[in-house]
Structure 1
């Protein structure tokens, strides 16, 4: 856009109180609050473009948006001009003062006009957290289970998933995408001090994909199906054959690469 500067904004948020990232009618979202804070700070309407959508109650430890703001004019202008001159140097502090406690801006930096928060991303990473003992500090931050599943079997199945590219069986139905193909470059379970965590990275993800994969791997870990049966599920391209989507509270978007 002419006479504008594109900025990337890095933020993180606790998704517990929000109906996801993307603006929705009659529901509070992270994007809605960030747009309002930016418009207040820069004294003009600002619209953000996010790096992707996260569902209701899903968290993000790293998330990027881009905005197009008018080029700062020479010093000595009015209130709107001064706001633009101070952005992005003072934007982090100003936005955090306007945003609720569960949304935090980390940094703001100028980028080229062709950089896009969503389409320029080359890799995204998610984690899914599970714990096994009641812990008030993990409430709404991790999924509480009673019994430990078999991590070796689940990692065997996760390795099988990485052999494929069409993940129609893990996609929410009736989504408007041109392809259900994704390139998964990492998928593994690890033990943590509080329980276990599933880590997965890919060039793109389908709606509900990670939660459906975790639900399917849990079927393997509980002994309901053998790891090799995951092949039949994927090759069926049928969502009803995969596992139930696990609760959103344990899911985190953790990294976006450009």
Structure 2
């Protein structure tokens, strides 16, 4: 029997899911994907994702790797159509392609990019896809504070406790707010992210934007390495994983 490894590229609306990773208390993206994969390829398949998005978080680009035994070229060629027919409308598979047998969707990723969407005026078409913020924000000061993050690597202050990670070090390469006609979009890119990190960063920068803290206080928060000093996590509905980079893709 010949076993080959494949990457599955997909996207999903996370509103109806309890995050990516399989769990006993709610339906997850991984559960739906694995069921569709196992049905289509007629073998038991357990996927491994490039990360773990929380309940309600979306992904416009997400990768998972799987191992398949004795599949045909025709099965792979028709896999996108076949899998999408089995998946709910909130999950879409874009392609499936062979990679090296030791390729790893999570550990091989060299960078990840998230976007957080916030809007100011009620909009039914942004329901569960963006955070409705009722108030004014100083986006210029928020951008000044965001740039301070690029000076640090230890982001313990933005991490959930007891996450079983070996290190809280991350290298942020980009953090920027952009004004939109009805809101703002925050884009942040790093080599890796901690659990809840982006939502905690966003909550802290919102504190700057509404004048609760000064720009330079963000440096003190990061240096404290204390989650209790950072802002509250913003709602999951506005968060999107939008890009995952690999040296061989």
* Number of residue pairs aligned between Structure 1 and Structure 2: 246
Following superposition, the deviation at residue 146 of structure 1 comes to 1.7
The question of 1:49 aligning with 2:48 is answered yes
Show structure 1 runs of 4+ deviating over 6 A.
none
CA drift of 1:114 comes to: 1.6
- Secondary structure at the residue paired with 2:76? coil
Q: Counterparts in 2 of 1:12-91, with a 5 A limit?
A: 12-72=11-71, 84-91=72-79
* Cα displacement string for residues 58-115 of structure 1 (whole angstroms, at most 9, x for unaligned residues): 000000001010133xxxxxxxxxxx44222100000000000000001111111121
- TM-score w.r.t. the length of structure 2 is 0.97
Q: Note if 1:126 corresponds to 2:114.
A: yes
Aligned equivalent of 1:79: none
The correspondence for 2:151, drawn from 158, 163, 166, is: 163
Deviations 1:196-247 (A, max 9, x none): 0000000000000000000000000001100000111011100000000000
The match for 1:196 among 164, 179, 184 is 184
- Matched residues in 2 for 1:32 and 1:193: separation? 37
Using the alignment, how far apart are the partners of 1:256 and 1:213 within structure 2? 20
2:165 aligns with one of 141, 164, 177: 177
Between stretches 237-246 and 144-153, larger displacement belongs to: 144-153
Cα separation, 2, equivalents of 1:71 and 1:166: 45
Say which SS state the counterpart of residue 151 (structure 2) adopts.
coil
Q: d(CA) in 2 for partners of 1:90 and 1:254? A: 25
Partner residue of 2:233 out of 234, 245, 258: 245
Within a 5 Å distance, the mapping from 1:1-16 to structure 2 comes to 3-16=2-15
* Runs of 5+ unmatched residues, structure 1: 73-83
The structure whose Rg is larger is: 1
The SS at the match of 1:180 is coil
C-alpha distance in structure 2 between counterparts of 1:113 and 1:31, whole Å = 21
Alpha-carbon separation, structure 1, partners of 2:59 and 2:151: 27
RMSD value, Cα: 0.9
Whole-Å separation in 1 of the counterparts to 2:207 and 2:176: 15
CA deviations 1:171-217 (Å, max 9, x no partner) are 00111000000000000100123310000000000000000000000
| Structure-to-structure mapping, 1:87-236, within 5 angstroms | 87-236=75-224
Please give the alpha-carbon distance, in whole angstroms, between the structure 1 residues aligned to 2:133 and 2:55.
Answer: 21
Stretches of structure 2 that go unaligned for 5 or more consecutive residues are none
Change (3 A) 1:36 1:218: same
TM-score computed with the length of structure 1 as normaliser = 0.94
